[in-house]
């Protein structure tokens, strides 16, 4: 059976109607659609089990044509075979198998189908009250309750699963909230993702610290110096290799060979002496500075003692007459510029400066000098630290210079024992090439070590940006749930008006998605009224989710919309009006042609009105002489 426009090889009809009398297999088609998408119900009818070996379903998952095949022989199949192709091109496409159970498996068929609507990987909490509760992955079977309206739900008093199994009703509401992006646990999901990113960032920061310590310890010169050394050594290697090739080409003894070796020895010895002199000068400087630092430390200790002495002991005061040795009744002082003890005139400065003030001034002077000494010690310590690092580099350079001098001396000694001077020269070039290669390799290792540091820093930056992005998502204003409920409520009332619900008033949807009409819960309506309410509610949910670009399938399947309506209703029923069905189809066609372009509606109807006859994709007759009899065309008895 095809839901494509007549004569077309791609696309689909906006409205497709499966028509025919009862017991012809119309509902079985819907069952097989759900089964192909991952449902767990396989039609048990004898004629189906006898004639159907597998079910193949071609659907558009996102923008990709996909064919799903599930075995229909015996029990429900545990896996599905999937091709990214059409029914006519599966042979040229690669096939993959997807498990059916568990429905929350990331590599399962359920999550594959949900991914096309952006509903994969969503966890639904088992409780909306407790935080430390379990959760389950949203499955395609949860979404079936939104996209497939079965016959028994149309006049059911459990339309939104509010009176049945509590978990089923909760998942139904959670599924709608997830579709519109107002699910309460979305904040928790973002927080969990942010927590994982923060943990990964912390681990990477610890790794960066370890890499930095290792690189700084083993390769303290830094990336720039090491890279420059690699470049210099590469040029040196190229030069030595060229010299070696020239020497091999000449293969003759020359006086210049021994002269070159001795010149190299002299240069190496001068470099060695200069390097050792620099090391000795640096060590001498450090020794002198260390002595100076010890002297400053001794000065600091003395100044500290002086401050302590001034704090512990009073200044010298005259309390006994130096002539008669009697205790003075009053301490000597300066009165009107004259000393009260010696009666000599005292200058203005001495007059103004009392003994206490002189003591305070002395303490300030000592404190100021102590701060200056501390500053000199700190600056001297920092300078000596830098000198010590520089000395370590000079020691390494001196060691390398000494090694080169020893090698050059050994090359000169080898001239006497060599059969020809060029052999000694060749050995020297070979040794220098080997040393240069080892040095370049060590420098390259250092560059790589610092490369790892840079990569770790870049990864930390990337994780930080991801963390900030998640933070902004958590701060971003998501659609308000109340506004979504209002949109659904307004559309629900508008659809009831379009269909022509009798005596319509006070129609709305409450916060638990339960419909109300005439101010009463939908369960108070007649059987025909409940059918119209069910149609209006599911149409409203389908239309608003599509218009709001929600994470929803865009497909709605309704089984038997004429149930308890029109000629099927009681004569005295308000809903015994066949125009209700006509208006239902007229509303659906109008919306699909305007705001709903791209959506799809499939309706199973025993006897659709003539106004939608052009939308009938197949009409079963249940007459053996007029095909098609039913879904199984030869099951006529």
- Segment 192-220, tens digit of pLDDT: 677 778 888 888 888 888 888 888 887 77
> Mean pLDDT over all residues of the chain?
83
H-type helices in 476-510, by residue range? Answer: 481-499
pLDDT given for residue 350 in this prediction: 45
Cis status, amide bond into 598, omega within 30 of 0: no
For the ranges 216-220, 318-322, 472-476, 545-549, which has the lowest average pLDDT?
472-476
H-type helices in 219-254, by residue range? Answer: 222-250
Q: For helices 255-312 and 355-417, give the axis angle rounded to 10 degrees.
A: 160
CATH 1.10.287 fits 255-321+367-419, yes or no: yes
Asked if residues 310 and 359 have their Cβ atoms less than 8 Å apart, the reply is yes
Q: Matching CATH topology for 15-182+478-619 and 255-321+367-419?
A: no
pLDDT given for residue 185 in this prediction: 60
Q: In the chain, what are the domain boundaries?
A: 15-182+478-619, 186-253+423-477, 255-321+367-419
CATH of the domain spanning 15-182+478-619: 3.40.50.300
Asked if residues 208 and 453 have their Cβ atoms less than 8 Å apart, the reply is yes
pLDDT above 70 for 23:
yes
Pick 329 or 32 by higher pLDDT: 32
Phi-psi region of 45 (alpha: psi -120 to 50; beta: other; left: phi over 0): beta
Tokens 């700190």 — which residue?
378
- Segment 287-312, tens digit of pLDDT: 998 999 899 889 889 888 888 776 66
Beta strands in 275-392 (DSSP E): 334-335, 338-339
pLDDT given for residue 358 in this prediction: 52
Query: Residue 415: which pLDDT band, with cuts at 50, 70 and 90?
Result: low
Give the pairing of strands 135-137 and 123-125: antiparallel
pLDDT above 70 for 37:
yes
pLDDT above 90 for 546:
yes
Closest by CA position to 81, among listed 56, 106, 105, 102: 56
Asked if residues 201 and 460 have their Cβ atoms less than 8 Å apart, the reply is yes
pLDDT given for residue 130 in this prediction: 41
pLDDT above 90 for 370:
no
pLDDT given for residue 197 in this prediction: 84
pLDDT given for residue 617 in this prediction: 93
pLDDT above 90 for 637:
no
pLDDT above 70 for 342:
yes
pLDDT given for residue 129 in this prediction: 44
Pick 517 or 344 by higher pLDDT: 517
For the ranges 265-269, 346-350, 496-500, which has the lowest average pLDDT?
346-350
pLDDT given for residue 457 in this prediction: 87
Give the pairing of strands 15-19 and 616-619: parallel
pLDDT given for residue 636 in this prediction: 67
Query: Residue 349: which pLDDT band, with cuts at 50, 70 and 90?
Result: very low
- Segment 117-169, tens digit of pLDDT: 888 888 776 655 443 345 678 899 999 999 999 999 998 999 998 887 888 88
Query: Residue 473: which pLDDT band, with cuts at 50, 70 and 90?
Result: confident
């Amino acid at each position: 059976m095809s839901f494509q426009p007549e004569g077309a090889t791609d696309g689909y009809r906006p409205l497709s109607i499966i028509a025919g009398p009862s017991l012809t297999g119309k509902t079985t088609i819907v069952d097989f659609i759900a089964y192909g998408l991952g449902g767990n119900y396989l039609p048990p009818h004898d004629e189906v089990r006898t004639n159907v070996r597998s079910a193949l379903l071609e659907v558009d998952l996102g923008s990709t044509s996909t064919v799903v095949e599930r075995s229909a022989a015996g029990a429900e199949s545990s896996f599905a075979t999937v091709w990214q192709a059409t029914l006519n091109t599966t042979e040229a496409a690669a096939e993959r198998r997807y498990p059916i159970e568990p429905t929350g498996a990331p590599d399962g068929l359920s999550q594959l189908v949900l991914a096309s609507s952006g509903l994969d990987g969503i966890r639904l909490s088992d409780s909306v009250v407790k935080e430390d509760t379990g959760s389950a992955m949203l499955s395609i079977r949860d979404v079936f309750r939104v996209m497939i309206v079965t016959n028994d739900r149309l006049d059911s008093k459990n339309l939104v699963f509010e009176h049945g199994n509590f978990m089923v009703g909760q998942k139904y509401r959670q599924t709608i909230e997830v579709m519109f992006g107002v699910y309460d646990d979305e904040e928790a999901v973002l927080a969990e993702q942010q927590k994982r990113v923060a943990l990964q960032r912390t681990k990477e920061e610890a790794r960066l610290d370890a890499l930095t310590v290792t690189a700084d310890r083993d390769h303290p010169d830094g990336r720039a110096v090491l890279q420059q050394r690699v470049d210099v050594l590469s040029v040196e290697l190229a030069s030595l290799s060229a010299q070696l090739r020239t020497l091999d080409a000449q293969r003759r003894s020359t006086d210049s060979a021994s002269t070159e070796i001795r010149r190299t020895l002299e240069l190496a010895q001068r470099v060695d002496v200069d390097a050792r002199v620099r090391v000795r000068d640096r060590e001498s400087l450090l020794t002198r500075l260390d002595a100076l630092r010890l002297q400053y430390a001794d000065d600091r200790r003395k100044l500290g003692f002086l401050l302590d002495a001034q704090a512990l002991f009073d200044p010298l005061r005259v309390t006994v007459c130096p002539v008669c040795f009697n205790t003075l009744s009053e301490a000597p002082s300066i009165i009107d510029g004259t000393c009260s003890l010696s009666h000599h005139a005292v200058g203005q400065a001495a007059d103004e400066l009392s003994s206490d003030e002189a003591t305070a001034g002395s303490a300030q002077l000592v404190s100021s000098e102590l701060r200056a000494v501390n500053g000199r010690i700190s600056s001297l310590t920092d300078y000596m630290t830098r000198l010590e690092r520089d000395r370590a580099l000079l020691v390494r350079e001196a060691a390398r210079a000494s090694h080169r001098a020893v090698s050059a001396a050994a090359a000169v000694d080898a001239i006497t024992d060599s059969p020809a001077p060029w052999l000694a020269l060749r050995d020297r070039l070979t040794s220098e090439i080997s040393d240069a290669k080892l040095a370049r390799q060590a420098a390259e290792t250092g560059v790589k070590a610092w490369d790892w540091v840079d990569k770790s820093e870049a990864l930390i930056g990337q994780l930080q940006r991801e963390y900030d992005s998640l933070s902004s998502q958590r701060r971003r204003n998501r659609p308000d749930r109340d506004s979504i409920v209002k949109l659904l409520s307004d559309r629900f009332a508008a659809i009831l008006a379009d269909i022509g619900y009798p005596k319509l008033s006070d129609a709305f949807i409450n916060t638990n998605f339960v419909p109300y009409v005439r101010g009463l819960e939908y369960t108070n309506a007649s059987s025909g009224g409940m059918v119209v309410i069910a149609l209006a509610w599911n149409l409203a949910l389908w239309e608003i989710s599509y218009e709001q670009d929600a994470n929803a399938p865009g497909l709605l399947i309704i089984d038997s919309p004429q149930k308890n309506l029109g000629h099927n209703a009681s004569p005295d029923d308000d809903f015994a009006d066949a125009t209700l069905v006509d208006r239902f189809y007229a509303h659906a066609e109008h919306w699909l042609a305007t705001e709903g372009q791209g959506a799809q509606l499939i309706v199973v109807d025993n006897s659709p009105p003539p106004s939608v006859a052009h939308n009938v994709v197949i009409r079963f007759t249940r007459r053996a002489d007029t095909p098609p009899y039913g879904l199984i065309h030869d099951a006529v008895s």
